Structure 1
Amino acid sequence: MFKGTIDENLNKQSIKGSEVKKLREKIIETYPSIEKYLEEIWPKDAKVLKSKIKVEDYLVQVYLIDDEIRFMENRDKIVIPTMRILHQYPFMMPHMQCDKGAIKHILSGSDVMCPGLTSPGGKMENLERYQVVAITAEGKVNAMGIGITVMSTEEIIKKNKDVAIELIQNLNDGLWKLTRPAATL
Protein backbone atom coordinates (compact mmCIF):
# COMPACT_ATOMS: atom_id res chain seq x y z
CA MET A 1 0.00 0.00 0.00
CA PHE A 2 2.80 2.46 0.85
CA LYS A 3 4.84 1.91 -2.30
CA GLY A 4 7.46 4.51 -3.08
CA THR A 5 8.71 7.37 -0.98
CA ILE A 6 6.47 9.33 1.36
CA ASP A 7 7.12 13.03 1.83
CA GLU A 8 8.52 13.57 5.34
CA ASN A 9 7.01 17.06 5.50
CA LEU A 10 3.65 15.96 6.86
CA ASN A 11 0.94 18.53 7.47
CA LYS A 12 0.43 17.73 11.16
CA GLN A 13 -2.56 18.79 13.22
CA SER A 14 -3.29 18.54 16.93
CA ILE A 15 -6.21 16.40 17.98
CA LYS A 16 -8.66 17.00 20.80
CA GLY A 17 -8.41 15.12 24.08
CA SER A 18 -11.81 13.50 23.43
CA GLU A 19 -10.60 12.20 20.06
CA VAL A 20 -7.43 10.83 21.71
CA LYS A 21 -9.55 9.05 24.31
CA LYS A 22 -11.83 7.50 21.66
CA LEU A 23 -8.83 6.38 19.61
CA ARG A 24 -7.17 4.73 22.60
CA GLU A 25 -10.45 2.94 23.39
CA LYS A 26 -10.73 1.78 19.78
CA ILE A 27 -7.18 0.38 19.91
CA ILE A 28 -7.95 -1.55 23.10
CA GLU A 29 -11.18 -2.86 21.60
CA THR A 30 -9.43 -3.99 18.40
CA TYR A 31 -6.29 -5.34 20.10
CA PRO A 32 -7.32 -6.38 23.66
CA SER A 33 -4.00 -8.14 24.38
CA ILE A 34 -2.18 -4.79 24.11
CA GLU A 35 -4.17 -3.01 26.84
CA LYS A 36 -1.61 -3.46 29.60
CA TYR A 37 1.15 -2.20 27.25
CA LEU A 38 -0.72 0.77 25.79
CA GLU A 39 0.87 3.18 28.27
CA GLU A 40 4.31 2.19 26.88
CA ILE A 41 3.18 2.65 23.28
CA TRP A 42 1.01 5.69 23.88
CA PRO A 43 1.67 7.46 27.20
CA LYS A 44 -1.31 9.50 28.37
CA ASP A 45 0.80 12.67 28.50
CA ALA A 46 2.25 12.15 24.99
CA LYS A 47 2.02 14.81 22.32
CA VAL A 48 -0.44 13.44 19.74
CA LEU A 49 -0.77 14.75 16.21
CA LYS A 50 -2.50 13.47 13.11
CA SER A 51 -1.70 13.77 9.45
CA LYS A 52 -2.85 12.33 6.15
CA ILE A 53 -0.76 10.45 3.64
CA LYS A 54 -1.97 10.00 0.06
CA VAL A 55 -1.97 6.31 -0.82
CA GLU A 56 -3.08 5.24 -4.28
CA ASP A 57 -6.39 7.09 -4.73
CA TYR A 58 -7.31 7.87 -1.12
CA LEU A 59 -5.88 9.32 2.11
CA VAL A 60 -4.70 7.33 5.11
CA GLN A 61 -4.84 9.02 8.49
CA VAL A 62 -1.67 8.53 10.55
CA TYR A 63 -1.22 9.26 14.24
CA LEU A 64 2.08 10.60 15.51
CA ILE A 65 2.76 9.98 19.16
CA ASP A 66 5.71 12.01 20.41
CA ASP A 67 6.62 12.68 16.74
CA GLU A 68 6.65 9.01 15.70
CA ILE A 69 3.98 7.44 13.49
CA ARG A 70 2.64 4.56 15.57
CA PHE A 71 -0.87 3.98 14.24
CA MET A 72 -2.84 4.57 11.06
CA GLU A 73 -6.49 4.48 10.14
CA ASN A 74 -7.48 3.14 6.74
CA ARG A 75 -10.45 4.16 4.61
CA ASP A 76 -12.62 1.63 6.46
CA LYS A 77 -11.80 3.37 9.77
CA ILE A 78 -9.80 0.40 11.05
CA VAL A 79 -6.97 1.48 13.36
CA ILE A 80 -3.78 -0.41 12.51
CA PRO A 81 -0.39 -0.27 14.23
CA THR A 82 2.76 0.27 12.21
CA MET A 83 5.17 -2.59 11.59
CA ARG A 84 7.53 -1.19 14.23
CA ILE A 85 4.82 -1.44 16.90
CA LEU A 86 3.95 -4.96 15.74
CA HIS A 87 7.60 -6.01 16.01
CA GLN A 88 7.71 -4.72 19.60
CA TYR A 89 4.40 -6.39 20.54
CA PRO A 90 4.02 -9.37 18.16
CA PHE A 91 1.29 -10.96 20.28
CA MET A 92 -1.13 -8.09 19.65
CA MET A 93 -2.82 -9.63 16.61
CA PRO A 94 -3.37 -13.01 14.97
CA HIS A 95 -0.69 -14.35 12.60
CA MET A 96 -1.03 -15.88 9.16
CA GLN A 97 2.08 -17.62 7.79
CA CYS A 98 2.95 -17.75 4.09
CA ASP A 99 5.24 -20.23 2.41
CA LYS A 100 8.78 -19.17 1.41
CA GLY A 101 7.73 -18.55 -2.18
CA ALA A 102 5.49 -15.66 -1.15
CA ILE A 103 8.21 -13.65 0.63
CA LYS A 104 9.60 -11.74 -2.37
CA HIS A 105 6.09 -10.90 -3.60
CA ILE A 106 4.87 -9.57 -0.26
CA LEU A 107 8.06 -7.58 0.32
CA SER A 108 7.48 -5.93 -3.06
CA GLY A 109 3.94 -4.94 -2.05
CA SER A 110 1.71 -7.75 -3.32
CA ASP A 111 -1.37 -8.92 -1.48
CA VAL A 112 -1.31 -12.42 0.02
CA MET A 113 -2.85 -15.05 -2.23
CA CYS A 114 -4.68 -18.13 -0.91
CA PRO A 115 -2.14 -20.70 -2.22
CA GLY A 116 0.64 -19.03 -0.21
CA LEU A 117 -1.33 -19.81 2.96
CA THR A 118 -2.66 -23.26 2.07
CA SER A 119 0.62 -24.76 0.78
CA PRO A 120 2.74 -26.94 3.13
CA GLY A 121 4.73 -23.90 4.40
CA GLY A 122 1.62 -21.89 5.22
CA LYS A 123 -0.22 -21.78 8.54
CA MET A 124 -3.47 -20.08 9.40
CA GLU A 125 -5.42 -19.19 12.50
CA ASN A 126 -9.18 -19.60 12.39
CA LEU A 127 -10.28 -16.07 11.45
CA GLU A 128 -13.22 -14.25 9.94
CA ARG A 129 -13.15 -11.63 7.18
CA TYR A 130 -11.86 -8.12 7.83
CA GLN A 131 -9.48 -8.93 10.67
CA VAL A 132 -6.10 -7.24 10.98
CA VAL A 133 -3.33 -9.84 10.87
CA ALA A 134 0.43 -10.07 11.08
CA ILE A 135 1.83 -11.69 7.96
CA THR A 136 4.74 -13.98 8.72
CA ALA A 137 6.82 -16.29 6.55
CA GLU A 138 7.88 -19.89 6.82
CA GLY A 139 11.19 -20.09 8.69
CA LYS A 140 11.19 -16.40 9.77
CA VAL A 141 10.68 -14.94 13.24
CA ASN A 142 9.39 -11.40 12.68
CA ALA A 143 6.35 -10.35 10.67
CA MET A 144 7.01 -9.11 7.14
CA GLY A 145 3.69 -7.35 6.80
CA ILE A 146 0.35 -6.32 8.21
CA GLY A 147 -2.84 -6.98 6.32
CA ILE A 148 -6.59 -7.36 6.52
CA THR A 149 -8.24 -10.66 5.69
CA VAL A 150 -10.67 -10.42 2.77
CA MET A 151 -11.78 -14.04 3.24
CA SER A 152 -12.34 -16.15 6.32
CA THR A 153 -9.95 -19.04 6.95
CA GLU A 154 -12.71 -21.40 5.88
CA GLU A 155 -13.17 -19.52 2.58
CA ILE A 156 -9.41 -19.46 1.95
CA ILE A 157 -9.22 -23.25 2.30
CA LYS A 158 -12.36 -23.87 0.24
CA LYS A 159 -11.60 -21.45 -2.62
CA ASN A 160 -7.77 -21.65 -2.62
CA LYS A 161 -7.38 -18.90 -5.23
CA ASP A 162 -7.48 -15.10 -5.37
CA VAL A 163 -6.46 -12.60 -2.69
CA ALA A 164 -6.79 -13.80 0.91
CA ILE A 165 -5.16 -10.86 2.73
CA GLU A 166 -5.00 -7.26 1.54
CA LEU A 167 -1.53 -5.96 2.34
CA ILE A 168 -1.53 -2.74 4.37
CA GLN A 169 2.16 -2.35 5.26
CA ASN A 170 5.27 -4.39 4.60
CA LEU A 171 8.92 -4.24 5.60
CA ASN A 172 10.90 -1.59 3.77
CA ASP A 173 7.89 0.17 2.22
CA GLY A 174 7.46 3.95 2.28
CA LEU A 175 5.87 4.01 5.75
CA TRP A 176 8.56 1.70 7.17
CA LYS A 177 11.24 4.08 5.90
CA LEU A 178 9.33 7.12 7.18
CA THR A 179 8.89 5.66 10.67
CA ARG A 180 12.51 4.64 11.11
CA PRO A 181 13.73 5.51 14.62
CA ALA A 182 16.15 8.18 13.39
CA ALA A 183 13.45 10.07 11.47
CA THR A 184 12.55 13.47 12.79
CA LEU A 185 9.18 14.47 11.54
Structure 2
Amino acid sequence: MIRIKFKKYFLTLKESRQLIDRAISEIPGMDEVFQRRKISLQVLEVPLRDDVAKVYYLQDTPILIEFPDGRLIPFLTAVEKLKLPIPRVVVDLGAVKPIASGADVMGPGIKDVEGKFNPGDIVAVVDEKIKAVIALGIAQRSSDEAKERGKTIKNIHHAGDALWRAVATEMG
Protein backbone atom coordinates (compact mmCIF):
# COMPACT_ATOMS: atom_id res chain seq x y z
CA MET A 1 0.00 0.00 0.00
CA ILE A 2 1.33 3.43 -0.96
CA ARG A 3 1.24 5.93 1.89
CA ILE A 4 0.72 9.49 0.75
CA LYS A 5 2.61 12.07 2.79
CA PHE A 6 0.50 15.13 3.46
CA LYS A 7 2.00 18.53 4.14
CA LYS A 8 0.99 19.88 7.55
CA TYR A 9 2.00 23.25 9.03
CA PHE A 10 0.75 26.23 11.04
CA LEU A 11 -0.47 29.51 9.55
CA THR A 12 0.95 32.76 10.83
CA LEU A 13 -1.32 34.75 13.14
CA LYS A 14 -1.97 37.21 10.31
CA GLU A 15 -2.91 34.42 7.85
CA SER A 16 -5.12 32.79 10.49
CA ARG A 17 -6.87 36.08 11.25
CA GLN A 18 -7.58 36.65 7.53
CA LEU A 19 -8.99 33.14 7.14
CA ILE A 20 -11.06 33.44 10.31
CA ASP A 21 -12.50 36.79 9.15
CA ARG A 22 -13.39 35.17 5.84
CA ALA A 23 -14.99 32.13 7.53
CA ILE A 24 -17.05 34.41 9.79
CA SER A 25 -18.34 36.39 6.80
CA GLU A 26 -19.07 33.32 4.61
CA ILE A 27 -20.27 30.56 6.96
CA PRO A 28 -23.18 30.90 9.41
CA GLY A 29 -22.20 30.34 13.05
CA MET A 30 -18.45 30.77 12.64
CA ASP A 31 -18.53 33.94 14.73
CA GLU A 32 -19.41 31.69 17.71
CA VAL A 33 -16.57 29.28 16.90
CA PHE A 34 -13.93 31.97 16.50
CA GLN A 35 -14.58 34.27 19.43
CA ARG A 36 -10.82 34.83 19.66
CA ARG A 37 -9.05 35.79 16.46
CA LYS A 38 -5.50 35.68 17.80
CA ILE A 39 -4.94 31.97 17.22
CA SER A 40 -2.82 30.03 14.76
CA LEU A 41 -4.67 27.48 12.68
CA GLN A 42 -2.98 24.34 11.43
CA VAL A 43 -3.23 23.34 7.77
CA LEU A 44 -3.25 19.93 6.13
CA GLU A 45 -2.66 20.10 2.37
CA VAL A 46 -4.46 17.29 0.56
CA PRO A 47 -3.82 16.43 -3.10
CA LEU A 48 -7.14 16.67 -4.92
CA ARG A 49 -7.17 15.72 -8.59
CA ASP A 50 -4.53 17.99 -10.17
CA ASP A 51 -4.57 20.50 -7.33
CA VAL A 52 -4.44 20.85 -3.56
CA ALA A 53 -7.25 21.40 -1.05
CA LYS A 54 -6.57 22.60 2.48
CA VAL A 55 -8.11 21.33 5.69
CA TYR A 56 -7.78 23.81 8.56
CA TYR A 57 -7.60 22.61 12.16
CA LEU A 58 -8.48 24.44 15.36
CA GLN A 59 -6.81 22.70 18.31
CA ASP A 60 -6.45 19.34 16.50
CA THR A 61 -10.06 19.41 15.24
CA PRO A 62 -10.67 19.68 11.47
CA ILE A 63 -12.91 22.69 11.10
CA LEU A 64 -12.70 24.18 7.59
CA ILE A 65 -11.94 23.11 4.03
CA GLU A 66 -10.65 25.40 1.33
CA PHE A 67 -11.06 23.95 -2.14
CA PRO A 68 -8.63 24.76 -4.97
CA ASP A 69 -11.21 27.18 -6.44
CA GLY A 70 -11.13 29.16 -3.16
CA ARG A 71 -14.51 27.98 -1.85
CA LEU A 72 -14.54 27.72 1.95
CA ILE A 73 -16.85 25.29 3.75
CA PRO A 74 -16.97 23.67 7.18
CA PHE A 75 -15.47 20.19 7.56
CA LEU A 76 -18.24 17.58 7.68
CA THR A 77 -17.84 16.63 11.36
CA ALA A 78 -17.54 20.29 12.39
CA VAL A 79 -21.15 21.00 11.39
CA GLU A 80 -22.58 18.88 14.21
CA LYS A 81 -19.72 19.23 16.67
CA LEU A 82 -19.91 23.04 16.53
CA LYS A 83 -23.70 23.15 16.09
CA LEU A 84 -23.40 25.37 13.02
CA PRO A 85 -26.75 26.87 11.99
CA ILE A 86 -26.47 25.71 8.39
CA PRO A 87 -29.69 24.89 6.52
CA ARG A 88 -30.32 21.14 6.17
CA VAL A 89 -32.16 18.76 3.92
CA VAL A 90 -33.32 15.47 5.40
CA VAL A 91 -33.06 12.60 2.92
CA ASP A 92 -34.81 9.24 2.92
CA LEU A 93 -32.80 6.16 3.84
CA GLY A 94 -32.68 4.96 0.22
CA ALA A 95 -30.71 8.06 -0.74
CA VAL A 96 -28.13 7.78 2.06
CA LYS A 97 -25.73 5.28 0.45
CA PRO A 98 -25.49 7.03 -2.95
CA ILE A 99 -25.07 10.46 -1.29
CA ALA A 100 -22.45 9.10 1.13
CA SER A 101 -20.64 7.81 -1.98
CA GLY A 102 -20.64 11.25 -3.61
CA ALA A 103 -23.95 11.40 -5.50
CA ASP A 104 -25.77 14.72 -5.71
CA VAL A 105 -29.05 15.18 -3.83
CA MET A 106 -32.13 14.94 -6.00
CA GLY A 107 -35.45 16.56 -5.06
CA PRO A 108 -37.54 13.37 -4.77
CA GLY A 109 -35.13 11.95 -2.13
CA ILE A 110 -35.69 14.92 0.19
CA LYS A 111 -38.13 14.26 3.04
CA ASP A 112 -37.84 17.61 4.81
CA VAL A 113 -36.10 20.99 4.63
CA GLU A 114 -34.81 22.68 7.79
CA GLY A 115 -34.01 26.35 7.30
CA LYS A 116 -34.00 28.54 4.21
CA PHE A 117 -31.39 28.52 1.46
CA ASN A 118 -30.79 29.98 -1.98
CA PRO A 119 -28.76 28.74 -4.95
CA GLY A 120 -25.06 28.85 -4.04
CA ASP A 121 -25.59 28.43 -0.27
CA ILE A 122 -23.93 25.67 1.76
CA VAL A 123 -26.43 23.00 2.81
CA ALA A 124 -25.95 20.03 5.14
CA VAL A 125 -27.47 16.71 4.11
CA VAL A 126 -28.77 14.53 6.97
CA ASP A 127 -30.35 11.09 7.04
CA GLU A 128 -33.95 10.75 8.24
CA LYS A 129 -33.26 8.13 10.90
CA ILE A 130 -30.56 9.58 13.19
CA LYS A 131 -30.22 13.01 11.57
CA ALA A 132 -26.45 12.59 11.16
CA VAL A 133 -24.73 14.89 8.65
CA ILE A 134 -23.66 12.65 5.76
CA ALA A 135 -22.64 15.31 3.24
CA LEU A 136 -22.27 19.01 2.55
CA GLY A 137 -23.23 20.55 -0.71
CA ILE A 138 -24.04 23.67 -2.64
CA ALA A 139 -27.71 24.45 -3.26
CA GLN A 140 -28.64 24.42 -6.93
CA ARG A 141 -32.05 25.97 -6.19
CA SER A 142 -33.92 27.54 -3.29
CA SER A 143 -35.31 25.72 -0.25
CA ASP A 144 -38.85 26.43 -1.53
CA GLU A 145 -38.13 24.33 -4.65
CA ALA A 146 -35.99 21.68 -2.91
CA LYS A 147 -38.36 18.71 -3.32
CA GLU A 148 -39.00 19.25 -7.04
CA ARG A 149 -37.61 16.82 -9.60
CA GLY A 150 -33.96 17.26 -10.53
CA LYS A 151 -30.77 18.18 -8.70
CA THR A 152 -31.21 20.22 -5.52
CA ILE A 153 -27.78 19.93 -3.85
CA LYS A 154 -24.40 19.44 -5.53
CA ASN A 155 -22.43 17.14 -3.21
CA ILE A 156 -18.97 18.62 -2.53
CA HIS A 157 -17.89 16.87 0.71
CA HIS A 158 -19.02 13.54 2.15
CA ALA A 159 -17.86 10.88 4.59
CA GLY A 160 -15.25 8.75 2.86
CA ASP A 161 -14.12 11.32 0.27
CA ALA A 162 -10.43 12.18 -0.25
CA LEU A 163 -10.48 14.96 2.36
CA TRP A 164 -12.21 12.76 4.92
CA ARG A 165 -9.72 9.93 4.32
CA ALA A 166 -6.73 12.30 4.55
CA VAL A 167 -7.88 13.58 7.96
CA ALA A 168 -8.55 10.03 9.17
CA THR A 169 -5.05 9.00 8.02
CA GLU A 170 -3.43 11.97 9.77
CA MET A 171 -5.30 11.30 13.00
CA GLY A 172 -3.93 7.77 12.99
TM-score range, shorter chain: 0.7 to 0.9
Q: How does 1:60-75 map to 2 (within 5 A)?
A: 60-66=53-59, 68-75=61-68
Match of 2:92 among 92, 99, 108: 99
Q: What does the per-residue CA deviation read over 1:130-178, in whole Å, with 9 as the maximum and x for residues that have no partner?
A: 11111112122221111111222345455x21x2212122223333333
Closer, same or farther: CA 52–45 of 1 in aligned 2, 3 Å: closer
Is the Cα–Cα contact under 8 Å of residues 94 and 132 in structure 1 kept in the other structure? yes
Distance across 2 between alignment mates of 1:6 and 1:67:
21
Question: How many residues end up aligned between the 2 structures?
Answer: 171
1:116 aligns with 2:109: yes
Is the Cα–Cα contact under 8 Å of residues 6 and 174 in structure 1 kept in the other structure? no
SS in 1 for 2:43: strand
Q: How does 1:120-135 map to 2 (within 5 A)?
A: 121-123=111-113, 125-135=115-125
Is the Cα–Cα contact under 8 Å of residues 17 and 37 in structure 2 kept in the other structure? no
Is the Cα–Cα contact under 8 Å of residues 132 and 149 in structure 1 kept in the other structure? yes
Superposition deviation, residue 105 in structure 1: 0.5
SS in 1 for 2:171: coil
Match of 2:45 among 39, 44, 52: 52
1:179 aligns with 2:172: no
Higher RCO (CA < 8 A, seq sep 6+): 1
TM-score (norm. length: structure 1):
0.75
Superposition deviation, residue 55 in structure 1: 2.3
Is the Cα–Cα contact under 8 Å of residues 126 and 132 in structure 2 kept in the other structure? yes
Closer, same or farther: CA 6–69 of 1 in aligned 2, 3 Å: farther
Match of 1:90 among 61, 83, 89: 83
- Mind listing any 5+ residue stretches in structure 2 that lack a counterpart? none
Is the Cα–Cα contact under 8 Å of residues 99 and 122 in structure 1 kept in the other structure? no
SS in 2 for 1:123: strand
Closer, same or farther: CA 153–105 of 1 in aligned 2, 3 Å: same
Distance across 2 between alignment mates of 1:73 and 1:114:
27
Which stretch shows the higher mean deviation, 11-20 or 140-149?
Answer: 11-20
Q: What does the per-residue CA deviation read over 1:83-134, in whole Å, with 9 as the maximum and x for residues that have no partner?
A: 22112023331111112221011111211122212xxx23353311111111
Match of 2:134 among 133, 144, 150: 144
Distance across 2 between alignment mates of 1:45 and 1:14:
10
Closer, same or farther: CA 58–6 of 1 in aligned 2, 3 Å: farther
1:12 aligns with 2:8: yes
Aligned to 2:152: 164
Distance across 1 between alignment mates of 2:3 and 2:132:
24
Identity, in percent, stands at 23
More strand by share: 2
Deviating beyond 6 angstroms after TM superposition, the runs of 4 or more aligned structure 1 residues are none
Superposition deviation, residue 13 in structure 1: 4.5
Aligned to 1:25: 21
Distance across 2 between alignment mates of 1:76 and 1:182:
24
Which stretch shows the higher mean deviation, 145-154 or 11-20?
Answer: 11-20
